[in-house]
C-alpha cells in the first residue's frame, strides 16, 4: 500500500494543478480591454447570435479577426468597444452569411492590413459586397491552403484545411486553423464537417488541442467520435444563437464532447467567451448571453395609388440583417410578381421591394403584409395600397 502513496500524492498534485488551469470567473460587466503584455494571448469568441466571430489578440497586441457573424450582429461594435484601431489579419473561413455578413461593415470602419480567404466564389450579395470592400480597402489579399502558415506577431496559425483543391461543399472547404501557444493550443474549425475532419486526419496533421472551436455550430454534421478522440480538447467552444431555428447545438454532439471529457461553453448560453493564456495554462471568462435587440419594423413609404401595369415600391426599416418577407394581396389572391422575394435588410436596416402590378389587377384597395425575422423573433406590419386606372 505504502508503495502507492507517492503516486497518489503525484496524482493529487496533478489534479490540483489541472484544476487551477480553468477558472470560471463571474460574468464580466464589460469585456476586458486590450492590455497587451509580453506573455498573454487573448481569444474572444464574440457572441454574434447565430454565427461565428473570433477576435485574437497576440501577446504583442496584434489583432486577428476570424469571421464576422451576420451583418449587424455586433462584431463591429465589440471591436470598437475593445478599442481596436487596426486589424492586422482578417480571415473569412468560408463565404456563408453567418461568417462573412459582418465583415463588410468592419472593413468599412476599421483599417485592415491583410484579408485571407479560401478563394471559393459565392453568388450572394454579401459576398459581392465583401469583395468590393476588400478591393476598395488598402488590405493585402491572400488565399490559403493546407500546409500554409499565417503569422500574427509572434503567433503562427497553421492552415489544416482546405486541401490543395477545393471540394464541392462550402462548409467542408472552411479554413481550419491550429494555433499553438506554449503548452496551450487552439483548433478553430469554422464550419468544417466530417468530410474535412477525415481529410485532416488522413493528411497526418497535428490536431491535438487544448481548446476546440467546434465545427459548424455543434451540429451533428461535424465532430465525429474519431476526430474528437484525436483532438482530445479540454475545452470546447461552440457558436449558436439563442433559440435558433437550426437546433444548434445538437445533443448528440454535446454528448460526444462530454465523452472526451471536454468542458463545453456555448455562446447561446454564456454570451461572449474569452480565453486568455500565458502559454502555461488558461483562463475562461464569460460575459453572459447577449441581450437580443428587440425587433423593430416600420413601413417608410409605399406607392399606394398605382395603375394596373405600373411599378410599385415599398420601403421599410428594420434591424440590420433581418430577413424580411412581403405578401401583396390582390382581389384574385397573393401576387407572385418578380421582385417580391424575401431578402435581408442592409447594414443600416433598410429593405425595399419593387414589383409590377399586373395589367389585369382589379381596382380596389388591397392588403400588404411585411414580416421581419431575426434571432428567433418575428414581427409583421400591415398596410394597404390602392389600384386605380
Residues that bind Zn ion in the complex, under the rule CB under 5 A = 98, 191
Half-sphere exposure of residue 59: CA atoms within 13 angstroms, side-chain side: 12
Least distance (Å) from Zn ion to the CB of residue 52?
6
Nearer to Zn ion, 37 or 246 (CB): 246
**Chain-centre distance for alpha carbon 132:** 20
Closest CA to 321 of 109, 104, 110: 104
CB of 210 to Zn ion, least distance (A): 23
C-alpha cell at 361: 389587377
Instruction: Report the b/e string of 161-188 with b at 16+ CB within 10 A.
Output: bbbeebeeebbbbbbbbbbbbeebbbbb
Q: How far is the CB of 314 from Zn ion (least distance, A)?
A: 31
Q: Which is nearer to Zn ion, 181 or 238 (CB)?
A: 238
Residue closer to Zn ion (CB basis): 88 or 191? 191
Closest CB to Zn ion among 53 and 347? 53
CB of 99: closest distance to Zn ion in angstroms?
5
Pair 276, 21: CB distance under 8 Å: no
User: What is the Cα–Cα distance from 215 to 238, expressed in whole angstroms?
Assistant: 8
- As measured in angstroms, the least distance from the Cβ of 251 to Zn ion is 19
Could you tell me if 201 and 209 are in contact, meaning their C-beta atoms sit under 8 angstroms apart? no
> Minimum CB separation from Zn ion for residue 51, in Å?
6
Query: Based on CB atoms, which residue is closest to Zn ion, 62 or 217?
Result: 217
Q: Parallel, antiparallel, or unpaired for β 282-286 and 89-91?
A: unpaired
Total residue length of the chain? 389
CB nearer to Zn ion: pick between 98 and 268 = 98
CB 47 within 8 A of CB 27: no
Q: CB of 237: closest distance to Zn ion in angstroms? A: 14
Q: Which CB atom, from 98 or from 250, has the smaller least distance to Zn ion?
A: 98
CA 215 to CA 219: how far, in whole Å? 8
The CA distance from 179 to 187, in Å, is 7
Amino acid at each position: 500500500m505504502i508503495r502507492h502513496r507517492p503516486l497518489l500524492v503525484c496524482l493529487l498534485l496533478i489534479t490540483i494543478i489541472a484544476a487551477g488551469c480553468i477558472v470560471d470567473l463571474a460574468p464580466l460587466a464589460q469585456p476586458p480591454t486590450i492590455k497587451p503584455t509580453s506573455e498573454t494571448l487573448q481569444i474572444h469568441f464574440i457572441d454574434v447570435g447565430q454565427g461565428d466571430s473570433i477576435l485574437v489578440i497576440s501577446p504583442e497586441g496584434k489583432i486577428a479577426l476570424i469571421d464576422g457573424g451576420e451583418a449587424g450582429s455586433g462584431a463591429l461594435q465589440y471591436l470598437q468597444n475593445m478599442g481596436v484601431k487596426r486589424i492586422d489579419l482578417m480571415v473569412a473561413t468560408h463565404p456563408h452569411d453567418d461568417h462573412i455578413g459582418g465583415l463588410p461593415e468592419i472593413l468599412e470602419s476599421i483599417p485592415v492590413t491583410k484579408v485571407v480567404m479560401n478563394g471559393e466564389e459565392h453568388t450572394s450579395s454579401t459576398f459581392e459586397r465583401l469583395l468590393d470592400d476588400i478591393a476598395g480597402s488598402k488590405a493585402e489579399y491572400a488565399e490559403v491552403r493546407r500546409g500554409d502558415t499565417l503569422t500574427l506577431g509572434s503567433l503562427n496559425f497553421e492552415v489544416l484545411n482546405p486541401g490543395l483543391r477545393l471540394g464541392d461543399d462550402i462548409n467542408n472547404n472552411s479554413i481550419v486553423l491550429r494555433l499553438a501557444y506554449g503548452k496551450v493550443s487552439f483548433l478553430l474549425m469554422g464550419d468544417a464537417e466530417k468530410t474535412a475532419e477525415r481529410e485532416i486526419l488522413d493528411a497526418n496533421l497535428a490536431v491535438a488541442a487544448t481548446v476546440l472551436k467546434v465545427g459548424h455550430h455543434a451540429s451533428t454534421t461535424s465532430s465525429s467520435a474519431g476526430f474528437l478522440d484525436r483532438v482530445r480538447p479540454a475545452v470546447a467552444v461552440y457558436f449558436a444563437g439563442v433559440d435558433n431555428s437550426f437546433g444548434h447545438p445538437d445533443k448528440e454532439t454535446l454528448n460526444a464532447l462530454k465523452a472526451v471529457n471536454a468542458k463545453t461553453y456555448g455562446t447561446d448560453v454564456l454570451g461572449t467567451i474569452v480565453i486568455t493564456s500565458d502559454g502555461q495554462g488558461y483562463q475562461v471568462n464569460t460575459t453572459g448571453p447577449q441581450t437580443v435587440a428587440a425587433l423593430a419594423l416600420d413601413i417608410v413609404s409605399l406607392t399606394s395609388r398605382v395603375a394596373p401595369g405600373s411599378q410599385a415600391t415599398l420601403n421599410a426599416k428594420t434591424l440590420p440583417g433581418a430577413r424580411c418577407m412581403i405578401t401583396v394581396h390582390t382581389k384574385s389572391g397573393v401576387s407572385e410578381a418578380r421582385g417580391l422575394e424575401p431578402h435581408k435588410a442592409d447594414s443600416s436596416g433598410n429593405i425595399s421591394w419593387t414589383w409590377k402590378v399586373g395589367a389585369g389587377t382589379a381596382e380596389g384597395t388591397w392588403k400588404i403584409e411585411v414580416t421581419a425575422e431575426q434571432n428567433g423573433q418575428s414581427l409583421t406590419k400591415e398596410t394597404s395600397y390602392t389600384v386605380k386606372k
